[in-house]
Amino acid sequence: MDTSLSNPEKINPTNTNVACPAGNGSVSTVQGSHHSPAANPDATLGRHVARRLVQIGVEDVFSVPGDFNLTLLDHLIAEPGLNNIGCCNELNAGYAADGYARARGVGACVVTFTVGGLSVLNAIAGAYSENLPLICIVGGPNTNDYGTNRILHHTIGLPDFSQEFRCFQTVTCYQTSCGLWMEARFELILITPLKFLIIHLHSSKESKPVYISISCNLAGIPHPTFAREPIPFSLSPRLSNKQGLEAAVDAAAAFLNKAVKPVMIGGPKLRVAKACAAFVELADASGYALGVMPSAKGLVPECHSHFMGTYWGAVGTPFCGEIVESADAYIFVGPIFNDYSSVGYSLLLKKEKAVIVQPDRVVIGHGPTFGCVLMKDFLQELAKKINKNTAAFENYKRIFVPEGQPRKSEPKEPLRVNVLFQHIQKMLSSDTAVIAETGDSWFNCQKLKLPEGCGYEFQMQYGSIGWSVGATLGYAQSVPKKRVIACIGDGSFQVTAQDVSTMIRCGQRTIIFLINNGGYTIEVEIHDGPYNVIKNWNYTGLVDAIHNGEGKCWTAKVNCEEELIAAIETATGEKQDCLCFIELIVHKDDTSRELLEWGSRVCSANSRPPNPQ
């Protein structure tokens, strides 16, 4: 983790060339020149930051205004290629940047000092856990207030302004604060964009959020440095160690080629390693039975001929777990094994049977570990040396029994959740994307069969309830040609409901299925108590009030299958250009079989007695 406080004594260049590391030892250099004090009033630090955001692929920035970031926002919105999306609160702004980064590769949010920064912190922590490159920009105090022993508003009442900075150190891979203002002001401004460049380099390398604080009186200061277009980034590709790569491939090929019925499982770190295509290449070459961990759903095409489904132990796709756990060798690519993904540590896997491939290293059984080996390179080279072996998939085909259909509903029978997801399945295409909120939607959405090109996102590692509202806003903004289908529980929706307003204002066409079962169902199945029951809202009435006749929005309340069919027909037909909010009334105990099983196993893991040391 890198940290920088912009102290001119530390960062003044010693010559007229300002150089910035560009990764793996290469250097980008900007030739220094002498400028007159006069500068184009549009050539400001704020506009320069805006241009850099556009240059790395950010077209929309999610913000909440505060007095410390107002000038910065003026300069961001002046950039033609950058659109400001004002959010209802900082937490949702961070979640929106998270959702945006999942589709675009990078997202950005702008908040004010401390009250905004600490509010967005939870969303940034979630992005960190999910390996998402996200830029959090905070408008900071006036440079003249640093070191004066003054107490400012929006702080915790101490003259030390570093609390926010220190908080972000634990959930970002790089931090910089442009606030220490001394005599060498032009040198400081000159260095700032280069530091911003370093931030993106770290983001690209580690795929984690970064933090930058810009004092409120710096964003609007013009300087000739910013009069020209930004120097393009020079990003040298990371390379595998050639000998290490060869050794890892040879060892893995020898290990897997002697197996009788090997399988391969994709994990969530396929995304950060940009190795999804290489994973499919290996699957094609090997003929192995193929599955994904739950948090990797959507990263591997489910139309692949050897795709079995989700490997999630006792709650995964039927027959997938049996094939994986009975295999004599398995290659896990980019896995994260935690208590949730392992169903309370109940997976029946043996380390001596496993090849574990992480973004920059390979571990084979209890044997050697090969470092400085990039996942994408490893998979591509292994595909050339692996022997085709379809034994596990042939066995899967022998034991596979197609899933049954939900019991047909009686006329006007109260809606059941399994009937709901049967109809959601029919809505999916390459022009749609699914957002699954923390809760029973995790399990019901895992069972959806994604057509080629259909997006899918959920937050499994961090599992913050309410994430999906902001993430849906950001994801839909990043892929306007797709229609996002969000499945959200009532308890989660109550945490972050406000930014349905922003979706309407942005003209988004999302379909939100609000599953109203009266509480925190996922918590009920882990450990029940009166705290899991919530106050019921009139959800459609709330969204109608938020709509307030401005923009395009349509709501419906559904109690049975007949009403559900009618609502879907309207949402995909007459109201296809509207944000559609469909509230579904279901029984409080109507949950998936998988949640019942998973909840009991997680409860068992949580309730283990202390282990005497």
User: What letter would DSSP give residue 507?
Assistant: T
Q: What Cα–Cα distance (Å) separates residue 520 from each residue in 349, 449, 489, 541?
A: 31, 26, 8, 21
Contact (CB, 8 A) for 34 and 24: no
* The dihedral sign for the CA sequence 511, 270, 594, 529: negative
244 annotated as a binding-site residue: no
> Of 496, 490, 533, 484, whose CA–CA distance to 515 is shortest?
490
Residues making up the chain, counted from first to last: 613
> Of 277, 487, 263, whose CA–CA distance to 386 is shortest?
263
122 annotated as a binding-site residue: no
**What is the CB-side half-sphere exposure of residue 560 using CA atoms within 13 A?**
8
CA 502/CA 547 separation, integer angstroms = 10
> Of 536, 503, 492, whose CA–CA distance to 518 is shortest?
536
Compute CA 197 distance to the chain's CA centroid, rounded to the nearest angstrom. 22
Collapsing DSSP states into helix, strand and coil, what is residue 574?
coil
CB neighbour list of residue 131: distance below 8 Å, 6 or more residues apart: 207, 208, 268, 269, 271, 272
Query: Angle 506-510-516 (CA atoms, 0-180°, nearest 5)?
Result: 120
Contact (CB, 8 A) for 210 and 136: yes
CB neighbour list of residue 180: distance below 8 Å, 6 or more residues apart: 5, 6, 7, 8, 143, 146, 147, 188
CA 107/CA 85 separation, integer angstroms = 12
CA 585/CA 34 separation, integer angstroms = 69
CA 469/CA 503 separation, integer angstroms = 9
Contact (CB, 8 A) for 251 and 355: no
15 annotated as a binding-site residue: no
Q: Give binding residues as ranges.
A: 490, 517, 519
Q: Give binding residues for Mg(2+) as ranges.
A: 490, 517, 519
